[in-house]
Amino acid sequence: MQNQSEHIQDTNREEFRFKGIPTSQGIEFGKAIVLFKEGPSSYPIHISEESIPEELERFSAALVNASEELQHIIDIAQKESAKISHILETYLLILMDSIMHDSIRTRIKEGYTAENAVIHEFDVQKQFFTLAKDPIIRERSIDFDHVTERLLNGLRNRTISHAVAEGSIVIGSSITPTDLMLFHKAGCLGFITEIGGIASHASILARSLSMPAIIGLRDISEKVQDEDAIIIDGFSGILIVHPTEDTRSFYIQKKKEADDNKLSLGLLANTECTTLDGYPIHLMANIDSIEDLHVAMKYGAKGIGLLRTEYLIIARQHFPTEQEQIEWYKELSHISFPHPLTIRAFDVGSDKYAEGLAEEDNPALGLRGIRFLLQRKDIFKNQIRAVYIASKEKNIRFMLPMISTINELKISLAFIEESRLELEHEGIPHDMALPIGIMIETPASALISDSLAPLVSFFSIGTNDLTQYTMAADRLNEYVSDIYDPFNPAVIRLMKMAIESAKKYGINIGICGELAGHSAATELLIGLGIQEISVSPPLLLELKKRILHINYSEVSQLH
């Protein structure tokens, strides 16, 4: 990650400001706790031959301690956050890998300290992840660091005292979700790290705990001392050290405004979502977990417009079995009931999960989404069966990603029907009229939308990919981010074509790309005739507030 830190003000010796990347919103005041930083070089490397048995013993004891501690935290996490408990289970799997234990023991027997053997072995394993093409897998390499840290702490008999966290803001090189959870329980108010990503587990957890967080503040643990009075502004990514009275008053006011805004938005959760002149808009949420679904329901979502099922693969690091999927879908559909749950077929490949896929020079234009599923019909079939078996409450819809030809859609629909008929023959009850729709996210699908519409029950516009493929600009590439513009007329025209086709054939059309939550897009989308908008849960209430102020008769004349 690029260093985003910058020294904003140095004229007043008392107050310092640093700017990083905001990753979870909110403002908090507290005392800094700077986490202890110990590099690999702080450990001795060699031991004498007679110390080897003792060293092996030390390693075994640290292993037992670390696994017991982790199991204890998993028990806590299971009550608090399913997402995090899955992550911690992954840590436990890494920790308990017997092949790694053997390698560590072998290295100790060669005369190395347990610390050195642990660091060495974990580094070797981590390489496989660090070198992966897929950014999601690359980011998982940090799991190895977290597990290494736990083992090293155990070897040194050193644990972080989470009890001192009350009223504090934690600053560290990075933070594990485990420690973050324990700090949170002890009353910690926010965190700041030198590294990490917006999609890192700690960031995800901070957002779900509504705890302000800033990442990417390089060397910050050397610039701030324990007990320093600080303010964290998770809206703009600013950290203030030794705030003056004026700054403090400014932020007290800013926090109050943010709290008031949250409160007044909260009142909108149960408000009907219509424009000023009574045109109804179906507000739904994009989710990837049961946790997200609870938040969406709390904010008054009228169903789920996009369930990214890739999350289940990422959390488990393998394609989930039919049974695993059935349980997950059933629970999600039960919670969303009576509102719809739109399950999207695995959209793997490209920047998503890529395990088991062939290496490709140009993966965004390669075997992704439905293209992959039609090559791996075993995986596709498992998912189709699970979706149908979970559909007894009749609120599930099934959506296909990356459709770009009529043939592809016809083959997919035939395969879905064939799999459904098998269930019928097996006497397994399911929703026989389960709606099947497609994402409109390739320019081809928009251009031939009038031929696709008669074949499906609904369209959902995925502006993230529609923009990427229309503008020929990688959605993750910062060098072409100015060209990657969902407001470009080329993208809007394609959206308009899809909307017209949907209207012509009387099928539902919604939008679930990021554009749906963009404040400048609401009038445009409603004016174009979109009636179903799906956004990530934290955006729901702001979006509803905007919709309530729109006059449909005025905006619809724009087009």
List residues near ligand PEP by CB under 6 A: 306, 308, 347, 441, 462-465, 512-513
Q: Maximum distance among all alpha carbons in the chain?
A: 86
**What minimum distance in Å lies between the beta carbon of 361 and Mg ion?**
21
| Active-site entry in 86, 162, 282, 512 | 512
Residues that bind Mg ion (CB under 5 A): 441, 462, 465
Task: List the single partner that 513 binds among ligand PEP, Mg ion, none, CB under 5 to 8 Å by kind.
Answer: ligand PEP
**What minimum distance in Å lies between the beta carbon of 534 and ligand PEP?**
8
Amino acid symbol at 273: C
Dist. CA 9–CA 249, nearest whole Å: 18
Between 86 and 368, CB nearer to ligand PEP? 368
| Active-site entry in 86, 146, 201, 430 | 201
Q: What angle do CA 320, 321, 324 make, to 5 degrees?
A: 80
Between 382 and 460, CB nearer to ligand PEP? 460
Alpha helices, DSSP H, located in 353-488: 370-375, 377-389, 406-425, 443-447, 449-452, 463-471
**What minimum distance in Å lies between the beta carbon of 308 and ligand PEP?**
5
Task: List the single partner that 4 binds among Mg ion, ligand PEP, none, CB under 5 to 8 Å by kind.
Answer: none
- The DSSP string of 361-386 is SSGGGSS-THHHHHH-HHHHHHHHHH
- The DSSP string of 68-87 is HHHHHHHHHHHHH-HHHHHH
Task: List the single partner that 463 binds among ligand PEP, Mg ion, none, CB under 5 to 8 Å by kind.
Answer: ligand PEP
Dist. CA 545–CA 511, nearest whole Å: 18
Q: Show the beta-strand stretches assigned E in 90-211.
A: 168-172, 190-193
The tokens 């190395």 sit on which residue?
A: 112
Q: Say if CB 521 and CB 515 are below 8 A apart.
A: yes
Between 90 and 463, CB nearer to ligand PEP? 463
Between 300 and 462, CB nearer to Mg ion? 462
Determine the 3-state secondary structure of 411 from DSSP.
Answer: helix
Q: Is 201 a catalytic residue?
A: yes
**What minimum distance in Å lies between the beta carbon of 445 and ligand PEP?**
11
Residue 180: Cβ within 10 Å count: 25
**What minimum distance in Å lies between the beta carbon of 310 and ligand PEP?**
8
**What minimum distance in Å lies between the beta carbon of 486 and ligand PEP?**
9
Between 47 and 444, CB nearer to Mg ion? 444
Between 213 and 402, CB nearer to ligand PEP? 402
Task: List the single partner that 201 binds among ligand PEP, Mg ion, none, CB under 5 to 8 Å by kind.
Answer: none
**What minimum distance in Å lies between the beta carbon of 401 and Mg ion?**
6
Q: Say if CB 485 and CB 495 are below 8 A apart.
A: no
Q: Say if CB 322 and CB 386 are below 8 A apart.
A: yes
Between 205 and 461, CB nearer to ligand PEP? 461
Which residues are within 8 A (CB) of 510 and not within 5 positions of it... i.e. 6 or more apart? Answer: 282, 284, 305, 458, 459, 460, 461, 530, 531, 532, 533, 534
Dist. CA 544–CA 267, nearest whole Å: 11
Task: List the single partner that 81 binds among Mg ion, ligand PEP, none, CB under 5 to 8 Å by kind.
Answer: none
What is the pairing mode between strands 190-193 and 16-19? unpaired
Determine the 3-state secondary structure of 16 from DSSP.
Answer: strand
Between 322 and 351, CB nearer to Mg ion? 351
Q: Say if CB 26 and CB 210 are below 8 A apart.
A: yes
Task: List the single partner that 289 binds among Mg ion, ligand PEP, none, CB under 5 to 8 Å by kind.
Answer: none
**What minimum distance in Å lies between the beta carbon of 178 and Mg ion?**
32
Task: List the single partner that 274 binds among Mg ion, ligand PEP, none, CB under 5 to 8 Å by kind.
Answer: none
Q: Is 7 a catalytic residue?
A: no
Task: List the single partner that 541 binds among ligand PEP, Mg ion, none, CB under 5 to 8 Å by kind.
Answer: none
**What minimum distance in Å lies between the beta carbon of 166 and ligand PEP?**
39
Q: Is the dihedral of CA 77, 82, 87, 92 positive or negative?
A: positive
Task: List the single partner that 115 binds among ligand PEP, Mg ion, none, CB under 5 to 8 Å by kind.
Answer: none
Tokens of 525: 């989308």
Residue 138: Cβ within 10 Å count: 14
Determine the 3-state secondary structure of 410 from DSSP.
Answer: helix
Between 14 and 478, CB nearer to ligand PEP? 478
Residues marked as catalytic: 201, 512
